[in-house]
Chains A and B, each alone.
Chain A
């Protein structure tokens, strides 16, 4: 094909967008609506996941060491814990520190502890944050097997709950998003099919003057792809805007729990490229494939 013919076909596709503007608006509108719904579902799922993950990390286990643990063993223990996968921040609380903490807790009644500085039964301990709550059971088993470990306190129930919430959010989010994608595809294909159907006469005429199927398809393909790009960009900007507004509104709230959550909302910049890329890909694919499939029946003349 000559370059001039190809240019003509591309130009034709662009012009068709304007000539059939009612159908263009219908298709772009549908596509935008679908992308927005899917986009918000994805964002919601990402954020719930991030918040639940953060909450899970707030869990800590406390490892109490037996009273006869030699002082120089504490450093060994700490490096052993450090080497384990799935554990986060490790804080060592020495026996002296534990005593001080206890005194502080008692406040003005602290004087009952006077004289017990060197003769108390408060053990040294390690406070350890958990990075992988789902592996908690395995971690606990291996920690309990370590030397001089007296007792391990762990919020197993809470960890289990959080893990199952996360799994549920991920699965449910995935299913909902998949369902939305399927519904969107059906709606978009129908819209484009209606647009192609309204121009079946035109396609028919092209066939009679001896146009090849490729020649007829290119403008429709260009049109479909452009529809996709327009919808993707508009949907992206809309999500960007509303996400920023929402985040802004939440950060001015001073309620402590809301503030904590806001801090762990994934910032837009972190996934903006993926979102735009995903939208463009989805838009171009649905627009392009939608127009290609919708045309098939009309080309048999």
Chain B
């Protein structure tokens, strides 16, 4: 699913952000990527979304070799990933429904499919009453659930969540992660980047710690709510 082989990445000014990373996330896994700010977490996200390419090494996501991906292939590749950002990135002048429908529309989906799929994911994210609202009328947690619905609606095999709880109240943070875990149980691979160590300790599972551009820890940890 995700395979980083001897990946290094330097910014144009020469600063090295990642150094010889080897990382593999298999189908159906849920992995936390943790690390302090400036550790290289966002560089990994940029590589995974093909916002930039590795300076050295190979990046493979969903079967696409991103080093060799032509620009014209990028949209198709991105449709195979659902992305959730810290700042939600909802389109402000579109309703909740349209924001979610948008990611189906870019795939040239039929109106029929859109009318089936969008209400379904909205209900899954408990947003059925908010369909006609605009993003600014929602709380942070609700906005993030809209973003999650948008990421889900294409039924992608992989969801990448970049600090999805960074901008929302703690009590709703756990709810978002719970939802991600629920999605994961249905078979979707999830990679969640976060700097909230407490939350990672609470949920447990595969945890990859990056510091100064190298992987310093990659193993399963037991969570506080192991009952799951």
Please report the C-alpha to C-alpha distance between residue A204 and residue B78 in the assembled complex, in whole angstroms: 13
Given the known inter-chain contacts A2-B108, A2-B110, A4-B111, please indicate yes or no for A210 contacting B91, CB distance below 8 A: no
Interface residues of A in 15-59 (CB under 8 A from B): 16, 19
Please report the C-alpha to C-alpha distance between residue A208 and residue B79 in the assembled complex, in whole angstroms: 8
Question: CB of B102 within 8 A of chain A?
Answer: yes
Please report the C-alpha to C-alpha distance between residue A108 and residue B108 in the assembled complex, in whole angstroms: 97
Q: How far is the CB of B150 from chain A (nearest CB, A)?
A: 7
Please report the C-alpha to C-alpha distance between residue A301 and residue B89 in the assembled complex, in whole angstroms: 15
B→A interface (CB under 8 Å): 49, 51, 74-79, 83, 89-93, 102-103, 105-108, 110-111, 150
In the complex, are the beta carbons of B102 and A209 less than 8 A apart? yes
Question: CB of A97 within 8 A of chain B?
Answer: no
The listed residue (A19, A201, A209) touching B106 by CB distance below 8 A is A209
In the complex, are the beta carbons of A5 and B76 less than 8 A apart? no
Given the known inter-chain contacts A210-B75, A210-B78, A210-B103, please indicate yes or no for A4 contacting B110, CB distance below 8 A: yes
In the complex, are the beta carbons of A215 and B106 less than 8 A apart? yes
In the complex, are the beta carbons of A212 and B106 less than 8 A apart? yes
Interface residues of A in 198-226 (CB under 8 A from B): 201-202, 204-213, 215
Q: What residue of chain A has the Cβ atom nearest to residue B80's Cβ? A: A210
The listed residue (B51, B93, B103, B108) touching A209 by CB distance below 8 A is B103
Q: What residue of chain B has the Cβ atom nearest to residue A300's Cβ? A: B71
A→B interface (CB under 8 Å): 1-2, 4-5, 8, 16, 19, 201-202, 204-213, 215, 301
Please report the C-alpha to C-alpha distance between residue A32 and residue B150 in the assembled complex, in whole angstroms: 40
Residues of B within 8 A of A202 (CB): 91-92
In the complex, are the beta carbons of B110 and A211 less than 8 A apart? no
Residues of B within 8 A of A209 (CB): 78-79, 83, 102-103, 106, 150
Given contacts A19-B93, A208-B78, 20 further A-B contacts (CB under 8 A): A1-B108, A2-B108, A5-B105, A5-B108, A202-B91, A202-B92, A204-B89, A206-B102, A208-B83, A208-B89, A209-B83, A209-B103, A210-B74, A210-B77, A210-B79, A211-B75, A212-B75, A212-B106, A213-B75, A215-B106
Residues of A within 8 A of B105 (CB): 5, 8
Q: List 12 A-B contacts (CB under 8 A).
A: A4-B111, A16-B93, A206-B102, A206-B106, A209-B83, A210-B76, A210-B79, A210-B106, A211-B75, A213-B75, A215-B75, A215-B106
- A-B residue pairs, 7 tightest by C-beta: A210-B78, A210-B79, A209-B103, A211-B106, A212-B75, A19-B93, A210-B75
Q: How far is the CB of B4 from chain A (nearest CB, A)?
A: 20
Residues of A within 8 A of B107 (CB): 210
Q: What residue of chain B has the Cβ atom nearest to residue A301's Cβ? A: B51
Q: What residue of chain B has the Cβ atom nearest to residue A208's Cβ? A: B83
